[in-house]
């Protein structure tokens, strides 16, 4: 009887789409595409997912959204919906099998997500965190298991959202709102969940979709007019559909996401190891002097400076000069760093091995051109609370939420903007 009830229930759910009869253009098999471009990529680690495939008897893959060093991400139809209800789309993060060099457990992100998704829904920052709704595992074709995380489907990362504006500059009023939401999310992570995000960058702050029907439009477009594909061996490499075009109506609700590198900790405890993208990496992480919640604050300050100006505050590293930043760090920070000898003289911690990049040539005042006058001075004062050499001197997310610059409009009278340029290490 229970089996009959189950079959009746299944008959009332949304039906899977059939295999598309559209013929996709073929990509050149001699050229790398999508995840194949990742350093140290190996196909044995990545699950050979195919569009139209149903995972866990519930999620039918409709389009590919993107990829990372250890995963591919897909837009999927949730079939466990009454057939008279609207389609629901979710994001499926399909993780690759672990590498021997990975220090964190393979289920790290799932554990972090389960913790932060349920801890305190009453905290305002909870609303700005991407939620986990389901998870399961798939058997790997070449052994091992692939964890699958079912997450809210979102519109686009912040770097694409930025391009929606004239000349790629987000107006300062909108930037303040985005920053308030991000700080609320970080305050929730740090104060309530005791979690260090460890990888803040524009890719990992996403914007919610303004109209869920947009997902179905693009899923149907892929079904009827598939993007070019690369067929090789046992798999198809699909091109990502992650740009939904101009906004249908204003939106800007952020979701902090990607907790693969996140660290669960206790206040006062220091952690070591490589985290964060190079251009957003805190000095204590570069020197391996031990990091905690304040490493996220450094990344946030640099990230939003970049968003305001449309260019990087710090240049990416090069193989010849890795992880270089301007200005001289305090002796206490250099002395405590496990990797300081790579950058500074062992006998004199204040003497850099390569003095050229440490010249005093970085000035917030000279580098900021999108705002002027009192607005500019208030922003510089605000961002300097985050971009400080000493981690313990950086303001917390909760403290930053009290800064008046976030909530007021200030004069941009250029005539008043005559303050002399100062270097980053000046107060």
pLDDT class of 334 with cuts at 50, 70, 90: low
Check 78, 187, 199, 306 and give the catalytic one: 199
Q: Tell me the CA distances in angstroms from 285 to 152, 186, 200, 282, 400, one per residue in order.
A: 31, 19, 14, 5, 22
Helices 294-309 & 373-383, crossing angle to 10 degrees?
150
Handedness of CA 143, 149, 150, 152 (dihedral sign): negative
pLDDT at 426: 38
For the chain, list the domains and their CATH numbers. 155-210+247-427 (1.10.510.10)
The encoded tokens of residue 392 equal 């313990």
pLDDT at site 371: 87
Which pLDDT score is estimated for 388?
A: 92
Residue 193 has pLDDT above 70, yes or no: yes
Query: If you average pLDDT over every residue of the chain, what do you get?
Result: 85
Q: What is the 3-state secondary structure (H, E, C) of 38-107?
A: CCCCCHHHCCCCCCCCEECCCEEEEEEEEEECCEEEEEEEECCCECCCCCCEEEEEEECCCCCCCCCCCC
CA distance linking residue 330 with residue 333, whole number of Å: 6
Range of weakest confidence among 38-52, 59-73, 273-287, 308-322: 308-322
Active-site residue flag, 199: yes
Residue 192 has pLDDT above 80, yes or no: yes
Binding positions: 93
What is the model's pLDDT at position 318? 43
Residue 325: is its pLDDT beyond 80? no
Phi, psi of 16 (to 5 degrees): -65, 145
Average pLDDT over residues 54-73: 96
Among residues 392, 109, 92, which one has the least CA distance to residue 256?
109
Q: Quote the DSSP letter at residue 344.
A: B
**Contact predicate 19/50, CB 8 Å:** no
Helix axes 172-187, 294-309, angle to 10 degrees: 170
- Per-residue model confidence as pLDDT tens digits over 71-96: 999 999 999 999 899 999 999 999 99
391 has pLDDT over 60 = yes
* 146, β-bridge pairs: 138
304 contacts 175 by C-beta, under 8 angstroms: yes
Helix (H, G, I), strand (E, B) or coil at 392: helix
Pairing of β 59-68 and β 54-55? antiparallel
Q: Considering the entire predicted model, what is its pTM?
A: 0.84
> What is the percent of the chain where pLDDT is above 70?
82
Name the token pair of 354: 């390569």
More confident site: 335 or 178: 178
Residue for token pair 């504006």:
165
Q: Binding-site residues for ATP, please?
A: 93
Nearest to 93 by CA among 117, 125, 118, 61: 61
């Amino acid at each position: 009887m229970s089996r009959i009830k189950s079959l009746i229930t299944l008959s009332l759910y949304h039906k899977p789409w059939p295999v598309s009869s559209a013929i996709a253009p073929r990509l050149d098999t001699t050229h790398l595409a999508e995840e194949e471009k990742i350093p140290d990529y190996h196909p044995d680690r990545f699950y050979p997912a195919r569009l139209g495939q149903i995972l866990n008897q519930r999620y039918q893959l409709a389009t590919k959204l993107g990829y990372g060093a250890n995963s591919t991400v897909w837009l999927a139809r949730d079939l466990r919906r009454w057939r008279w209800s609207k389609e629901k789309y979710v994001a499926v993060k399909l993780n690759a099998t672990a590498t021997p060099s990975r220090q964190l457990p393979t289920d790290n992100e799932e554990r972090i997500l389960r913790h932060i998704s349920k801890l305190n829904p009453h905290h305002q920052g909870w609303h700005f965190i991407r939620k986990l709704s389901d998870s399961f595992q798939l058997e790997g074709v070449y052994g091992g298991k692939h964890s699958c995380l079912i997450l809210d489907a979102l519109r686009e990362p912040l770097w694409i959202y930025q391009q929606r504006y004239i000349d790629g500059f987000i107006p300062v009023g909108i930037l303040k709102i985005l920053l308030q939401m991000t700080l609320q999310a970080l305050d929730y992570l740090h104060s309530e969940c005791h979690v260090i995000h460890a990888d803040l960058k524009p890719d990992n702050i996403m914007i919610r979709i303004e109209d869920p029907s947009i997902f179905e439009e693009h899923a149907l477009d892929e079904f009827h007019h598939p993007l070019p594909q690369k067929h090789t061996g046992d798999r198809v490499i699909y091109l990502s559909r992650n740009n939904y075009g101009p906004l249908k109506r204003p939106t800007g609700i952020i979701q902090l996401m990607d907790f693969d590198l996140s660290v669960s900790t206790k206040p006062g405890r220091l952690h070591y190891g490589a985290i964060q993208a190079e251009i957003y990496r805190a000095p204590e992480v570069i020197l391996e002097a031990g990091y905690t919640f304040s490493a996220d604050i450094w990344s946030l300050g640099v990230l939003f400076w970049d968003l305001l100006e449309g260019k990087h505050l710090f240049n990416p590293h090069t193989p010849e000069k890795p992880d270089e930043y301007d200005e001289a760090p305090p002796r206490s920070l250099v002395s405590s760093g496990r990797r300081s000898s790579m950058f500074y003289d062992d006998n004199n911690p204040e003497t850099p091995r390569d003095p050229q990049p440490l010249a005093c040539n970085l000035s917030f005042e000279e580098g900021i051109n999108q705002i002027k006058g009192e607005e500019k001075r208030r922003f510089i004062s605000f961002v300097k609370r985050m971009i400080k050499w000493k981690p313990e001197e950086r303001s917390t997310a909760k403290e930053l939420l009290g800064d008046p610059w976030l909530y007021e409009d200030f004069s941009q009278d250029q005539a008043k903007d005559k303050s002399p340029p100062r270097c980053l290490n000046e107060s």
